C-alpha cells in the first residue's frame, strides 16, 4: 500500500538545537567552543546515545542531558563544573522556550512537497510540553496537520502506545503510515512495534548496515515516498 500519512519526529528532523545559543552559554562560563564545532559533533554524539542500552534505560529528559555532554565530549571539550553550569542554564531556557529552535532552510519546502504528494503530516515527538509553542513561534504549525507532544500524553517513544495514539488522532492506518526519525532505537524500533514502516533520517551517515531504510534529508524522503506511490500503483 502507498503511504497516506507521514509521522515525523521533531528534533533532528524538523528542528535542531541552536548551537550558537549553546556556544554563547558556554562562553559565559569560560568555555570557548564555536557553534560549528558543536554542530559537527552532533551526529557522533547522537549515535553514541542511541546504540547499546542507553535509549532503553533512560527517559527522554535523561537522554537530553546525556546528549549535550556527549556533544561536548565529541567536540573535545572537557566536562567540568563550568560546562555543567552552562548546561543547567540552557536547560532552564529549554523548559520554557525550547532549545530546538533552528529550522534548516530545506525543511519548509520539503514539507510543502510532501503535502503536494497528498500526505497527512503528523509530528510524533518526545518533547517537554513546549513543542506547540515553539512550532508556532517558528512558523511550522501551518505546514503540519497534527502535532503529538509526548509530555502532553504521558507516554514517549519507543513505547508503541504513542504511535497508536497518533494514529487515532490523525485518523490514520498503520499499514498506510510511515514514520521518520533520527534515532534507531527510539524511532525505528518504536514505530515497528506499532506496525508502522520506519525510515531513519541519517544526515551524518552514521547507521551504515542497519536494517532500515535511510535518508540524508527530508527531500530524499519525498523522493522515497514518491517512488513508493509509483510502485504501489
Residues 6+ apart with CB under 8 A from 12: 46, 181, 182, 183, 201
Domain that includes residue 31, residue range: 19-98
113 and 38 assigned to the same domain: no
141 and 209 assigned to the same domain: yes
DSSP code per residue over 68-111: HHHHHHHTT----HHHHHHHHHHHHHHHHT-SEEE--TTHHHHH
The pTM for the full model equals 0.94
Domain containing residue 117: CATH number: 3.40.50.1000
- The residue from 52, 75, 98 where one domain ends is 98
**pLDDT surpasses 90 at 208:** yes
pLDDT one-digit tens code per residue, 66-95: 999 999 999 999 999 999 999 999 999 999
34 and 140 assigned to the same domain: no
Q: Retrieve residue 1's grid coordinates.
A: 500500500
User: How many domains, the chain?
Assistant: 2
148 and 186 assigned to the same domain: yes
pLDDT one-digit tens code per residue, 18-70: 999 999 999 999 999 999 999 999 999 999 999 866 665 566 667 777 999 99
Amino acid at each position: 500500500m502507498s503511504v497516506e500519512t507521514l509521522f515525523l519526529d521533531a528534533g533532528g528532523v524538523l528542528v535542531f538545537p541552536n548551537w550558537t545559543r549553546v556556544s554563547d552559554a558556554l562562553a559565559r562560563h569560560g568555555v570557548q567552543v564555536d557553534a560549528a564545532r558543536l554542530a559537527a559533533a552532533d551526529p557522533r554524539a547522537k549515535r553514541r546515545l542511541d546504540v547499546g542500552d542507553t535509549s532503553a534505560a533512560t527517559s527522554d529528559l535523561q537522554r537530553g542531558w546525556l546528549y549535550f555532554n556527549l556533544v561536548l565530549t565529541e567536540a573535545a571539550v572537557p566536562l567540568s563544573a563550568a560546562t555543567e553550569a552552562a548546561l543547567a542554564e540552557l536547560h532552564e531556557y529549554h523548559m520554557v522556550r525550547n532549545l530546538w529552535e533552528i529550522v534548516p532552510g530545506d525543511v519548509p519546502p520539503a514539507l510543502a512537497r510532501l503535502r503536494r504528494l497528498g500526505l497527512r503530516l503528523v509530528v510524533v515527538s518526545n518533547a517537554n510540553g513546549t513543542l506547540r509553542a515553539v512550532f508556532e513561534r517558528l512558523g511550522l504549525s501551518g505546514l503540519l496537520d497534527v502535532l503529538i507532544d509526548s509530555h502532553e500524553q504521558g507516554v514517549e517513544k519507543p513505547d508503541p502506545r504513542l504511535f497508536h495514539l497518533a494514529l487515532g488522532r490523525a485518523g490514520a492506518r498503520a499499514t498506510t503510515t510511515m514514520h521518520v526519525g533520527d534515532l534507531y532505537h527510539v524511532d525505528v524500533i518504536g514505530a515497528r512495534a506499532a506496525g508502522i514502516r520506519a525510515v531513519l533520517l541519517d544526515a551524518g551517515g552514521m547507521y551504515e548496515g542497519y536494517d532500515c531504510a535511510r535518508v540524508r534529508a527530508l527531500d530524499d524522503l519525498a523522493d522515497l515516498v514518491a517512488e513508493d506511490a509509483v510502485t504501489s500503483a
